[in-house]
């Protein structure tokens, strides 16, 4: 058997199985491997919702089990094993993870879910190689998972109750054991049978063979540079005292090379290109591509840190050690320390003398209760957007589903979608859009001098972020936020304290079907790009009919850049590229939004009676247009722009 040389190599290794399961012990014994059983004390309390897939949860649990045993044996027993094997088996159905039932009622609930359906059994396995130098434990982790699809027959109530009364489900993931009485519940199984029992022996043997006897490379190879670095750099991150990482240094080096690209001679470039064409040398090292491939890991690390409220824990500016932070979560130190070090490498945390504190960026935007927090936006992407992009293949092949809209760059999607959402989903989306709106509210409020208006109505104003900015800038301005009742019932928790709140009122209503509140100035912020022309004309017609002579319409939206890159500055070209990529990514899972040029928006306003249309920019994404309704006697002049240069630089 191909495994025999591996087993011989491990004869003098101290191998530990971090599991008390007699089934895993029996299966692993079939390899002829000699090992010691040291049950893990890791509390299996990882938050399932923080993992993108069920098998990721199983793999992480297996790894934490093995690491707990390795650390405990090294620290308390003063002995370091060579290899620790951890495993965790879960049953999943409809995205729900089923572990061991806590009682008979829980077992009945699990088995009822599985009755007559197909489910997946995942086993995550971690092989931890350990060594000790200078009294410190060093580990290298190999992890994998195996999936088996199992289908239950249609079972009667009596059969399920009888099986539960046998006592077998109590210590089995999913509430059944396929190798014993539970086998009578199973109609079919596709995949490794032993994986359902609790340990994927075939895959484990293949992984051991791959680790100790990797396949030879075909043909002679000449390396003129270092081989590809391992994509998993967690060990390097954990050892970094100052929070740096090889990956970050490589990125900096790559950026430096890109900036210095103009200093290379044409001859050098031509020589390199010719070398690549003729095969005389390897292609340029694709640092940028590797960073793109790894990018999702950084996003998920940020999402997880926010979900655990790491930045809230550190907001008091008192540095905490990894062990102190882990104790607050009731989690093992190892995984928490790795997450903290990743946040250091991402520039979100600072690390000094093994203690962690927030960076200025995290303090401003990642603490959940600060003024310009984007914590709600991060949570929305973690809880909803991540799942959409995790199933991107399905979305591409099936096409966008009805009712999906992009969160990316507007704060008023709620106005048209909240009736189809649960209250919790609406509140979560409000938190996300409120954070985005706060970032640009003051820039929008100061894009023009609006001091000559005495009343304003923000249609679809959601939490009132822009309304509060208008009230702060213009103390004489009374502002009405007009939005759906199901939106406004949640806004109380978003209202700041201050005198300007007396200037603001929230009025429930539908601006397509009900009379609009009286106002000198109407505001539409990031709404029109959600609708086709017929709905846009209908809304603008209603506003025009309500707007008195001398009144105005402030229109805020993303605008298609009609000038193109040829007439743009470098910063404008980069901004257009970023926004274009953002729109393209959103378009993968949501219906594309209407893209109108600045000239088209200007014509829309003019068609509905608004004259002297002026335009400026607020931040990277937004354009602001102000049109006025002329009085019968004379046209109302557009007031001079206020802070135009400031807005362009923002």
- For residues 488 and 461, the answer to whether their CB atoms sit within 8 Å is no
Rounded Cα distance between 440 and 558, Å, is 12
Which token pair is 342? Answer: 């990743």
Q: Tokens 């309390």 belong to which residue?
A: 45
3-state SS of 41-91 is CCCCCCCHHHCCCHHHHHHHHHHHHHHHHHHHHHHCCCCCCCEEEEEEEEE
Query: What are the φ/ψ torsions at residue 233 (nearest 5 degrees)?
Result: -110, 25
- For residues 70 and 96, the answer to whether their CB atoms sit within 8 Å is no
In sequence order, the β-bridge partners of residue 479 are 456, 504
Nearest residue to 429 via CA among 402, 463, 391? 463
3-state SS of 311-372 is HHHCCCCCCEEHHHHHHHHCCCHHHHHHHHHHHHHCCCEEEECCEEEECHHHHHHCCCCCCC
Q: Among residues 82, 88, 165, 226, which one is catalytic?
A: 88
Q: Is 228 left (phi over 0), alpha (psi -120 to 50) or beta?
A: beta
Distances (CA, A) of 634 to 477, 551, 614, 630, 637: 24, 13, 18, 6, 9
What DSSP letter does each residue of 440-495 carry, written as one string? HHHHHHTSB--TT-SEEEEET-TT-HHHHHHHHH-TT-EEEEEE-HHHHTTGGGGP
Q: State the sign of the Cα–Cα–Cα–Cα dihedral 49, 50, 52, 54.
A: negative
Question: How do beta strands 83-93 and 15-17 pair?
Answer: parallel
Known catalytic residue: 88?
yes
In sequence order, the β-bridge partners of residue 350 are 357
Catalytic residues: 88
């Amino acid at each position: 058997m191909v495994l025999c040389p591996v087993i011989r190599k491990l004869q003098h290794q101290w191998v530990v199985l971090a599991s008390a399961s007699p089934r895993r012990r029996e299966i692993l014994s079939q390899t002829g491997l000699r090992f010691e059983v040291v049950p893990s004390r890791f509390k299996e309390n990882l938050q399932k919702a923080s993992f993108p897939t069920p098998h990721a949860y199983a793999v992480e649990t297996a790894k934490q089990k093995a690491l707990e045993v390795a650390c405990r044996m090294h620290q308390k027993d003063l002995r370091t094993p060579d290899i620790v094997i951890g495993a965790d088996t879960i049953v999943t159905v409809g995205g729900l993870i089923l572990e061991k039932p806590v009682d008979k009622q829980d077992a009945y609930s699990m088995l009822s879910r599985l009755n007559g359906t197909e489910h997946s059994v995942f086993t995550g396995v971690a092989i931890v190689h350990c060594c000790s130098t200078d009294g410190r434990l060093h580990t290298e982790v190999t992890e994998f998972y195996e999936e088996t699809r199992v289908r239950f027959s249609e079972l009667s109530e009596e059969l399920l109750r009888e099986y539960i009364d046998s006592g077998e489900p109590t210590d089995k993931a999913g509430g059944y054991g396929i190798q014993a009485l539970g086998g009578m519940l199973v109609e079919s199984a596709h995949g490794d049978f032993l994986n359902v029992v609790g340990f994927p022996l075939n895959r484990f043997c293949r992984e051991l063979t791959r680790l100790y006897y990797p396949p030879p490379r075909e043909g002679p190879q000449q390396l003129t540079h270092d081989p590809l670095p391992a994509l998993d750099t967690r060990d390097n991150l954990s050892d970094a005292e100052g929070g740096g990482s090889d990956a970050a240094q490589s990125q900096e080096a790559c950026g430096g090379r890109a900036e210095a690209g103009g200093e290379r001679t044409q001859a050098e470039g031509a020589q390199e290109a010719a070398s690549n064409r003729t095969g005389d040398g390897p292609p340029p090292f694709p640092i940028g591509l590797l960073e793109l491939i790894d990018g999702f890991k950084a996003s998920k690390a940020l999402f997880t840190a926010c979900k655990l409220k790491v930045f809230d824990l550190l907001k008091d500016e008192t540095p905490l050690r990894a062990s102190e932070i882990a104790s607050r979560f009731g989690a093992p130190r190892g995984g928490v320390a790795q997450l903290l070090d990743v946040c250091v490498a991402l520039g979100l945390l600072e690390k000094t003398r093994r203690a962690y504190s927030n960076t200025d960026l995290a303090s401003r935007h990642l603490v959940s209760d600060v003024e310009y927090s984007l914590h709600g936006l991060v949570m929305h992407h973690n809880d909803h957007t991540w799942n959409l992009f995790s199933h991107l293949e399905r979305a591409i092949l099936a096409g966008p589903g009805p009712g999906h809209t992009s969160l990316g760059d507007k704060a008023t999607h709620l106005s048209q979608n909240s009736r189809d959402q649960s209250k919790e989903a609406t509140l979560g989306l409000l938190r996300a859009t409120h954070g985005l709106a706060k970032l640009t509210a003051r820039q929008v409020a100061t894009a023009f001098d609006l001091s000559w208006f005495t009343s304003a109505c923000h249609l679809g104003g959601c939490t009132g972020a822009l309304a509060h900015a208008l009230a702060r800038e213009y103390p004489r301005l009374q502002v009405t936020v007009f939005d759906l009742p199901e939106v406004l019932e949640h806004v109380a928790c978003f209202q700041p304290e201050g005198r300007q709140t007396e200037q603001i009122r929230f009025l429930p209503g539908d601006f397509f079907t009900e009379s609009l509140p009286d106002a000198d100035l109407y505001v539409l912020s990031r709404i029109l790009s959600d609708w086709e022309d017929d709905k846009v004309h209908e809304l603008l017609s209603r506003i025009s009919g309500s707007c008195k002579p001398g009144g105005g319409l402030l229109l805020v939206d993303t605008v298609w850049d009609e000038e193109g890159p040829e007439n743009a500055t470098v910063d404008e070209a980069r901004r257009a590229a970023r926004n274009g990529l953002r729109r393209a990514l959103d378009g993968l899972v949501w219906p594309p939004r209407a893209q109108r040029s600045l000239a088209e928006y200007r014509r829309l306003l003019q068609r509905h009676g608004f004259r002297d249309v002026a335009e400026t920019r607020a931040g990277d994404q937004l354009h602001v247009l102000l049109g006025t309704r002329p009085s019968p006697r004379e046209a109302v002049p557009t007031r001079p722009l206020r802070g135009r240069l400031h807005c362009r630089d923002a």
